[in-house]
A and B are shown apart, each in its own frame.
Chain A
Amino acid sequence: DTGVSQDPRHKITKRGQNVTFRCDPISEHNRLYWYRQTLGQGPEFLTYFQNEAQLEKSRLLSDRFSAERPKGSFSTLEIQRTEQGDSAMYLCASSDRLPGGLYGYTFGSGTRLTVV
Protein backbone atom coordinates (compact mmCIF):
# COMPACT_ATOMS: atom_id res chain seq x y z
CA ASP A 1 0.00 0.00 0.00
CA THR A 2 1.43 3.35 -1.02
CA GLY A 3 -0.53 5.55 1.37
CA VAL A 4 -3.40 7.94 0.70
CA SER A 5 -3.85 8.84 -2.96
CA GLN A 6 -5.68 11.87 -4.27
CA ASP A 7 -6.64 12.69 -7.81
CA PRO A 8 -6.24 15.06 -9.54
CA ARG A 9 -3.24 16.87 -8.06
CA HIS A 10 -4.26 20.14 -9.64
CA LYS A 11 -7.54 21.40 -11.04
CA ILE A 12 -8.24 24.72 -12.71
CA THR A 13 -11.88 25.43 -13.38
CA LYS A 14 -14.06 28.31 -14.37
CA ARG A 15 -16.41 29.83 -11.86
CA GLY A 16 -19.77 28.12 -11.92
CA GLN A 17 -18.45 24.75 -13.07
CA ASN A 18 -18.71 21.56 -11.02
CA VAL A 19 -15.63 19.66 -9.92
CA THR A 20 -15.09 16.27 -8.32
CA PHE A 21 -12.06 15.02 -6.43
CA ARG A 22 -11.21 11.46 -5.50
CA CYS A 23 -9.42 10.04 -2.47
CA ASP A 24 -8.20 6.47 -2.05
CA PRO A 25 -7.33 5.85 1.60
CA ILE A 26 -5.02 3.26 3.06
CA SER A 27 -6.96 0.07 2.47
CA GLU A 28 -7.31 -1.10 6.06
CA HIS A 29 -8.27 2.33 7.43
CA ASN A 30 -11.94 2.67 8.24
CA ARG A 31 -12.01 6.44 8.78
CA LEU A 32 -11.63 8.97 6.00
CA TYR A 33 -11.47 12.75 6.39
CA TRP A 34 -11.64 15.75 4.09
CA TYR A 35 -9.92 19.02 4.99
CA ARG A 36 -9.57 22.33 3.17
CA GLN A 37 -6.45 24.46 3.44
CA THR A 38 -6.20 28.01 2.16
CA LEU A 39 -2.91 29.82 1.71
CA GLY A 40 -1.20 30.63 4.99
CA GLN A 41 -3.76 28.78 7.12
CA GLY A 42 -3.98 25.44 8.84
CA PRO A 43 -6.20 22.74 7.40
CA GLU A 44 -9.90 23.08 8.31
CA PHE A 45 -12.08 20.05 8.84
CA LEU A 46 -14.86 19.50 6.30
CA THR A 47 -16.29 16.04 6.89
CA TYR A 48 -15.43 12.48 7.84
CA PHE A 49 -16.63 8.95 7.23
CA GLN A 50 -16.50 5.82 9.29
CA ASN A 51 -16.65 3.12 6.64
CA GLU A 52 -19.48 4.29 4.35
CA ALA A 53 -21.29 6.40 6.95
CA GLN A 54 -20.76 10.15 6.90
CA LEU A 55 -20.65 10.94 10.60
CA GLU A 56 -19.94 14.66 10.74
CA LYS A 57 -20.04 17.67 8.48
CA SER A 58 -18.54 21.05 9.24
CA ARG A 59 -20.47 24.31 8.92
CA LEU A 60 -17.89 25.07 6.21
CA LEU A 61 -19.49 22.41 4.05
CA SER A 62 -22.17 24.42 2.29
CA ASP A 63 -24.93 22.80 0.28
CA ARG A 64 -22.73 23.15 -2.82
CA PHE A 65 -20.40 20.55 -1.35
CA SER A 66 -21.17 16.86 -1.18
CA ALA A 67 -19.01 13.93 -0.20
CA GLU A 68 -19.56 10.23 -0.62
CA ARG A 69 -17.87 7.01 0.30
CA PRO A 70 -20.19 4.49 -1.28
CA LYS A 71 -18.51 1.22 -0.43
CA GLY A 72 -16.43 2.30 2.48
CA SER A 73 -13.32 2.45 0.33
CA PHE A 74 -12.57 5.47 -1.88
CA SER A 75 -14.33 8.79 -1.40
CA THR A 76 -15.34 11.64 -3.68
CA LEU A 77 -15.80 15.31 -2.87
CA GLU A 78 -17.92 17.30 -5.31
CA ILE A 79 -18.23 21.05 -5.43
CA GLN A 80 -21.09 22.41 -7.49
CA ARG A 81 -21.23 25.89 -8.99
CA THR A 82 -17.68 26.68 -7.91
CA GLU A 83 -16.84 30.14 -6.60
CA GLN A 84 -13.48 31.87 -6.39
CA GLY A 85 -13.55 31.43 -2.63
CA ASP A 86 -13.43 27.67 -3.15
CA SER A 87 -9.83 27.97 -4.38
CA ALA A 88 -7.79 25.99 -1.87
CA MET A 89 -5.90 22.76 -1.29
CA TYR A 90 -8.28 19.91 -0.50
CA LEU A 91 -6.61 17.30 1.68
CA CYS A 92 -7.80 13.80 2.36
CA ALA A 93 -6.65 11.74 5.32
CA SER A 94 -7.39 8.28 6.61
CA SER A 95 -6.93 6.85 10.05
CA ASP A 96 -7.33 3.72 12.06
CA ARG A 97 -7.05 2.82 15.68
CA LEU A 98 -3.61 1.62 16.66
CA PRO A 99 -2.60 -0.30 19.78
CA GLY A 100 -3.09 1.78 22.88
CA GLY A 101 -6.03 3.69 21.46
CA LEU A 102 -3.90 5.97 19.34
CA TYR A 103 -5.31 7.19 16.07
CA GLY A 104 -2.76 7.62 13.33
CA TYR A 105 -3.67 10.02 10.56
CA THR A 106 -2.09 9.76 7.14
CA PHE A 107 -2.60 12.62 4.71
CA GLY A 108 -2.65 12.48 0.94
CA SER A 109 -0.79 14.90 -1.29
CA GLY A 110 -3.89 17.01 -1.78
CA THR A 111 -5.78 18.45 -4.74
CA ARG A 112 -5.10 22.10 -5.43
CA LEU A 113 -8.19 23.79 -6.85
CA THR A 114 -8.01 27.12 -8.62
CA VAL A 115 -11.28 28.76 -9.63
CA VAL A 116 -10.85 31.46 -12.27
Chain B
Amino acid sequence: ELKVEQNPLFLSMQEGKNYTIYCNYSTTSDRLYWYRQDPGKSLESLFVLLSNGAVKQEGRLMASLDTKARLSTLHITAAVHDLSATYFCAVDNWTSGSRLTFGEGTQLTVNP
Protein backbone atom coordinates (compact mmCIF):
# COMPACT_ATOMS: atom_id res chain seq x y z
CA GLU B 1 0.00 0.00 0.00
CA LEU B 2 1.32 3.41 -0.99
CA LYS B 3 1.96 5.67 2.02
CA VAL B 4 2.89 9.33 2.04
CA GLU B 5 4.35 11.08 5.07
CA GLN B 6 4.97 14.78 5.52
CA ASN B 7 6.94 16.61 8.12
CA PRO B 8 6.61 18.78 9.92
CA LEU B 9 2.85 18.64 10.38
CA PHE B 10 2.80 22.11 11.93
CA LEU B 11 5.16 24.94 11.09
CA SER B 12 5.16 28.42 12.54
CA MET B 13 7.68 30.78 11.07
CA GLN B 14 8.45 34.46 10.89
CA GLU B 15 8.16 36.55 7.80
CA GLY B 16 11.40 36.69 5.89
CA LYS B 17 12.65 33.30 7.03
CA ASN B 18 13.32 30.19 4.95
CA TYR B 19 12.10 26.69 5.63
CA THR B 20 11.61 23.30 4.00
CA ILE B 21 8.70 20.86 4.13
CA TYR B 22 9.53 17.21 3.49
CA CYS B 23 7.44 14.54 1.80
CA ASN B 24 8.41 10.86 1.86
CA TYR B 25 6.55 8.14 0.01
CA SER B 26 6.78 4.41 0.35
CA THR B 27 6.75 2.92 -3.15
CA THR B 28 7.66 3.85 -6.67
CA SER B 29 5.58 6.71 -7.90
CA ASP B 30 4.95 8.12 -11.34
CA ARG B 31 4.24 11.65 -10.26
CA LEU B 32 4.50 13.87 -7.19
CA TYR B 33 2.07 16.73 -6.64
CA TRP B 34 2.02 19.65 -4.24
CA TYR B 35 -1.23 21.37 -3.32
CA ARG B 36 -2.18 24.33 -1.18
CA GLN B 37 -5.40 24.47 0.83
CA ASP B 38 -6.77 27.54 2.62
CA PRO B 39 -9.19 26.98 5.52
CA GLY B 40 -12.58 25.80 4.31
CA LYS B 41 -11.44 25.85 0.69
CA SER B 42 -10.56 23.27 -1.89
CA LEU B 43 -7.14 22.26 -3.17
CA GLU B 44 -5.06 24.51 -5.39
CA SER B 45 -2.44 22.81 -7.53
CA LEU B 46 1.07 24.20 -7.02
CA PHE B 47 3.50 21.81 -8.70
CA VAL B 48 3.67 18.51 -10.54
CA LEU B 49 7.03 16.74 -10.54
CA LEU B 50 7.63 13.95 -12.98
CA SER B 51 11.20 12.82 -12.93
CA ASN B 52 14.19 12.40 -10.72
CA GLY B 53 15.94 15.67 -10.11
CA ALA B 54 12.95 17.73 -11.23
CA VAL B 55 12.86 21.20 -9.74
CA LYS B 56 10.08 23.74 -10.18
CA GLN B 57 9.77 27.23 -8.78
CA GLU B 58 6.89 29.65 -8.49
CA GLY B 59 7.46 32.84 -6.57
CA ARG B 60 8.74 32.04 -3.08
CA LEU B 61 8.06 28.30 -3.40
CA MET B 62 10.39 25.74 -4.92
CA ALA B 63 9.69 22.01 -5.16
CA SER B 64 12.14 19.24 -5.93
CA LEU B 65 11.97 15.49 -6.37
CA ASP B 66 14.46 12.71 -5.60
CA THR B 67 12.87 9.49 -6.81
CA LYS B 68 15.71 7.30 -5.55
CA ALA B 69 15.25 8.57 -2.00
CA ARG B 70 11.46 8.74 -2.53
CA LEU B 71 11.59 12.27 -1.21
CA SER B 72 10.19 15.59 -2.31
CA THR B 73 10.82 18.93 -0.69
CA LEU B 74 8.91 22.19 -0.77
CA HIS B 75 11.23 25.07 0.06
CA ILE B 76 9.88 28.40 1.19
CA THR B 77 12.07 31.43 0.68
CA ALA B 78 11.58 34.68 2.59
CA ALA B 79 8.13 33.72 3.81
CA VAL B 80 5.26 36.20 3.75
CA HIS B 81 1.96 36.07 5.61
CA ASP B 82 0.04 35.23 2.41
CA LEU B 83 1.76 31.84 2.34
CA SER B 84 -0.08 30.77 5.50
CA ALA B 85 -2.09 27.68 4.50
CA THR B 86 -1.95 23.89 4.63
CA TYR B 87 0.32 22.25 2.09
CA PHE B 88 -0.22 18.69 0.90
CA CYS B 89 1.95 16.44 -1.15
CA ALA B 90 0.38 13.58 -3.07
CA VAL B 91 1.59 10.81 -5.32
CA ASP B 92 0.02 8.60 -7.92
CA ASN B 93 1.14 5.60 -9.92
CA TRP B 94 -0.38 3.02 -12.19
CA THR B 95 -0.39 0.31 -9.54
CA SER B 96 -2.55 2.49 -7.30
CA GLY B 97 -4.98 3.01 -10.14
CA SER B 98 -3.67 6.39 -11.08
CA ARG B 99 -5.37 8.18 -8.26
CA LEU B 100 -3.78 10.41 -5.68
CA THR B 101 -2.60 9.32 -2.24
CA PHE B 102 -2.11 12.33 0.03
CA GLY B 103 0.12 13.08 2.96
CA GLU B 104 -1.32 14.40 6.21
CA GLY B 105 -0.55 17.98 5.31
CA THR B 106 1.70 20.67 6.79
CA GLN B 107 -0.11 23.56 8.41
CA LEU B 108 2.04 26.62 7.82
CA THR B 109 1.59 29.84 9.77
CA VAL B 110 3.72 32.83 8.84
CA ASN B 111 3.82 35.45 11.58
CA PRO B 112 4.63 39.11 11.00
Binding site for B on A (CB under 8 A): 31, 33, 35, 40-45, 48, 55-56, 91, 93, 100, 102-110, 112
- A42 CB contacts on chain B under 8 angstroms: 4, 88, 90, 102-105
Which bracket fits the contact residues of B? 20 to 34
Q: Is residue B25 contacting chain A, with contact meaning CB distance below 8 A? A: no
List which B1-48 residues lie within 8 A (CB) of chain A.
4, 31, 33, 35, 40-43, 45, 48
Chain A residues with CB below 8 A from B48, complex form? 102, 104
Residue of A nearest to B104 (CB): A42
- Tell me the nearest residue of chain B to A109, going by C-beta: B42
Residues on A with C-beta less than 8 A from B88 are 42-43
Determine how close the nearest CB of chain B comes to the CB of A80; give it in whole angstroms.
Answer: 24
Residues of A within 8 A of B92 (CB): 103
Residues of A within 8 A of B111 (CB): none
B57 at interface, CB cutoff 8 A: no
The CA of A105 and the CA of B45, in the complex, are separated in Å by 8
- Mark out the residues of chain B between 65 and 95 whose CB falls within 8 Å of any chain A CB in the assembled complex: 88, 90, 92
User: In the complex, which residues of chain B have a beta carbon less than 8 angstroms from the beta carbon of A108?
Assistant: 42
Contact of B104 among A41, A91, A112 (CB under 8 A): A41
Taken together as a complex, chains A and B put the C-alpha atoms of A35 and B37 apart, in Å, by 15
Q: Which residues of B contact A104 (CB under 8 A)?
A: 45, 48
Q: Say whether B97 faces chain A, with CB atoms less than 8 Å apart.
A: yes
- A96 CB, min distance to chain B CBs, angstroms: 11
Q: Which residues of A contact B35 (CB under 8 A)?
A: 107
Per CB-CB distance, the 10 closest pairs between chain A and chain B, nearest first, are: A42-B102, A107-B43, A109-B42, A56-B97, A107-B42, A42-B105, A110-B42, A43-B102, A42-B104, A45-B99
CA–CA, A104 and B35, complex, Å: 12
Please name 5 further chain A to chain B contacts, defined as beta carbons within 8 Å, in addition to the given A91-B43, A102-B31, sorted by A numbering: A31-B98, A41-B104, A43-B88, A45-B99, A108-B42
Which residue of chain B has its CB nearest to the CB of A97?
Answer: B98
